[in-house]
């Protein structure tokens, strides 16, 4: 595995500054409105809020899958907002995503082996990745997510929902990223397997020293996984801080309402 790039002690991994994203020709839909935050290497940040709060828009901008209307996003001191795809290889190698629904994020016509190693074949990532034997990496990441080696020759439809999400996690791990962004990764799964996938994520983040950005509408899940939390409401940050502080002494009425209203998920 490649070593993490050294980071100046005073420089965050991510710096989001006054980020605004407006949709619609008339500019009336403000998905994000002046959002600022920092993410440091090794941090486990939860981004929470109700549907429509701007969570997915924020992480799309942090992953350079969309461009802000105003404001900026920097990664390792380099501005990524507005960069064209050919110049984003360093970000694609360092930051990988796990999406909500593995049924739609996995190509049903590709074998699991081809899906998992797809990032290693990307022309945009190739120059930013250290040379690696794709077969060796495939076996390594399948083992890491508790899938058998023979899964590589099978297709996504042959697996359960929880197993498909493990395949998606294996694909995200293949380029040996430093940051994992997970967008509601268990909300499409049966309740019986959610805890298994969450515990797998927690173990992988700890074992690999990953920085985690975890999006959820469920504060109990975020409390289990994350050491800090940002609460979004209508595109604005309502509250942010260490998880234990926010849970124990929330300063915003909205946060208190979320804590009171969202059912707890039993984990472990």
What is the tally of structural domains in the chain? 1
Q: What was the pLDDT predicted at 153? A: 97
Question: Residue 246 maps to which CATH number?
Answer: 3.40.50.300
Residue 98, burial from CB neighbour count under 10 angstroms (0-12, 13-18, 19+): buried
CA 232, CA 237: separation in Å to the nearest integer?
5
Average pLDDT, rounded, for the chain = 90
pLDDT at 266: 53
Higher pLDDT, 266 or 44: 44
> Is residue 3 scored above 50 in pLDDT?
no
Does residue 188 belong to any structural domain of this protein?
Answer: yes
CA distance 153 to 155: 7
pLDDT in tens, 36-68: 999 999 999 999 999 999 999 999 999 999 999
* Structural domain range at position 88: 14-261
Does 87 have pLDDT greater than 50? yes
pTM: 0.90
Residue 104 lies in a domain: yes
**What is the model's pLDDT at position 5?**
46
Q: Does some domain include residue 3?
A: no
Cα 59 to Cα 115: distance, rounded to the nearest angstrom: 23
Q: Are 100 and 188 in contact (CB under 8 A)?
A: yes
- Mean pLDDT lowest for which of 17-21, 100-104, 136-140, 200-204? 100-104
Residue 268 lies in a domain: no
């Amino acid at each position: 595995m490649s070593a993490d790039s050294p980071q100046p002690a005073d420089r965050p991994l991510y710096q989001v500054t006054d980020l605004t994203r407006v949709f619609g020709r008339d500019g009336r839909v403000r998905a994000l409105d002046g959002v600022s935050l920092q993410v440091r290497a090794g941090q486990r940040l939860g981004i929470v809020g109700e549907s429509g709060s701007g969570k997915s828009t924020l992480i799309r901008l942090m992953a350079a899958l969309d461009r802000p209307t105003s404001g900026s996003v920097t990664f390792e001191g380099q501005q990524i907002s507005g960069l064209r795809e050919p110049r984003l290889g360093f970000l694609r190698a360092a930051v990988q995503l796990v999406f909500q629904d593995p049924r739609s994020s996995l190509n049903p016509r590709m074998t699991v082996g081809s899906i998992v190693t797809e990032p290693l074949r990307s022309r945009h990532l190739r120059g930013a990745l250290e040379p690696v034997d794709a077969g060796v990496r495939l076996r390594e990441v399948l083992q890491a997510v508790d899938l058998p080696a023979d899964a590589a020759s099978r297709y996504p439809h042959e697996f359960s929902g929880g197993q498909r999400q493990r395949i998606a996690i294996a694909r995200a791990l293949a380029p040996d990223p430093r940051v994992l962004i997970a967008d509601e990764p268990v909300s499409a799964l049966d309740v019986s397997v959610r805890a298994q996938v969450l515990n797998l994520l927690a173990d992988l983040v700890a074992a690999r020293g990953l920085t985690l950005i975890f999006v959820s509408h469920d504060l109990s899940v975020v409390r289990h996984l994350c050491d800090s939390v940002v609460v979004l409401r209508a595109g604005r940050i309502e509250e942010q801080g260490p998880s234990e502080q926010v849970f124990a002494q929330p300063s915003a009425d909205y946060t208190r309402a979320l804590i009171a209203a969202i059912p707890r998920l039993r984990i472990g």
